[in-house]
Amino acid sequence: MTTPANEVPGWFTHALAQEHIDRKVTVDGTDIAYRTWGNSGHRGLLLVHGGGAHLHWWDFIAPFLADDYYVVALDLGGMGDSGRRPEYTPESYIAEIIAVADDAGLDNRSALAGHSMGGAVSLRVAVAHPNRFSHLLMLDSPLRPKTDDQEESGKSRSPFQNKRFYPDFETAVGRFRLLPEQPETSDWIVKFIAENSLTETDQGWCWKFDDNAFKTRMFGRGSELANQLTTPLAVVYGQLSKFFDTETLNYMRQILPTSTPFIAIPEAHHHLFLDQPLAFVTAIRTLMSSWACE
């Protein structure tokens, strides 16, 4: 018997009820929040959210991995419950990820996984610290050629800038939208993400992220780093993702080692682990298990 689309399934509430530990580490004067699940003696997996998101996007994913792995998820600076900075740079995000890994006790057998912008950050972590993590997972985080027509100079406006304020919590939750917008994500998952994305201020309720973190686009295409990457990589993407068309996939297969796994999550868009969470968990479990044999 299947669960109706608008009814919260048992696996979701069970996952949210699992034990976790919330911690903070100070990185260059800014408190960085992170959460852990599972036994710290197990092999580690560090999860990095996308732009404007936060660690709670992983709250219903991490518990399904925590039986076999020590799972850690952080709020990047300027997002979630982490502190704000005067300036956000690739270097500041790299430092935060390394500091969380160290503070949480993740050794170099641990894997690093990043979604969307988090994948771009994680790629730079793996290049800057090639021996810190055993493997890298880029989750619907594409690499594109420098000749791509889309502008990446930093002049194009981010949709996360100039956030709005709402008079009450319920109104704010009702205005939450995934970016890029997409169909078919379950209402109860979107509601959970929205409820954990808000903070109350003197001006009303608003999204937790610091909109100053998105004044420029700082990551470029990432393709220029492909030949510098020595950490084994896997690419997991939504089969319906607007960012993984045939041209992009062909290009990534050309510039990445032929041994790189490319795994499509069926019926998933860019927010692949919101769209198909259990299929996503299965893919990550399979990858981690295969890497244990290397």
Q: Domain span at residue 263? A: 16-144+227-292
pLDDT at 148 over 60: no
What is the domain-level CATH number for residue 116? 3.40.50.1820
> Is 201 a member of any domain?
no
Residue 41 carries which side chain, given as an amino acid letter? G
C-alpha to C-alpha distance for 87 and 124, rounded to whole angstroms: 18
> Is 1 a member of any domain?
no
How does the average pLDDT of the chain come out, rounded?
91
> Is 211 a member of any domain?
no
> How many structural domains is the chain composed of?
1
pTM exceeds 0.85 for this model:
yes
User: What residues contact 75, with CB distance under 8 A and at least 6 apart?
Assistant: 32, 33, 34, 49, 54, 55, 81, 82
Q: What is the pLDDT of residues 15-56, one digit of tens each?
A: 999 999 999 999 999 999 999 999 999 999 999 999 999 999
> Is 20 a member of any domain?
yes
Structure tokens at 113: 């996984």
- 67 — phi, psi (to 5°)? -65, -35
Report which of 44, 42, 22 is spatially closest to residue 31, judged by C-alpha positions: 22
C-alpha to C-alpha distance for 242 and 251, rounded to whole angstroms: 15
> Is 86 a member of any domain?
yes
> Is 288 a member of any domain?
yes
Report which of 281, 64, 274 is spatially closest to residue 189, judged by C-alpha positions: 274
- Only one residue has tokens 């994500």, namely 185
Residue 213 carries which side chain, given as an amino acid letter? A
C-alpha to C-alpha distance for 232 and 240, rounded to whole angstroms: 25
User: What residues contact 11, with CB distance under 8 A and at least 6 apart?
Assistant: 278
pLDDT at 139 over 60: yes
> Is 6 a member of any domain?
no
Q: What is the pLDDT of residues 166-176, one digit of tens each?
A: 999 999 999 99
7-11, 108-112, 130-134, 142-146: lowest mean pLDDT where?
A: 142-146
> Is 170 a member of any domain?
no
Structure tokens at 30: 């800014």
Do β-strands 198-201 and 70-74 pair in parallel, antiparallel, or remain unpaired?
unpaired
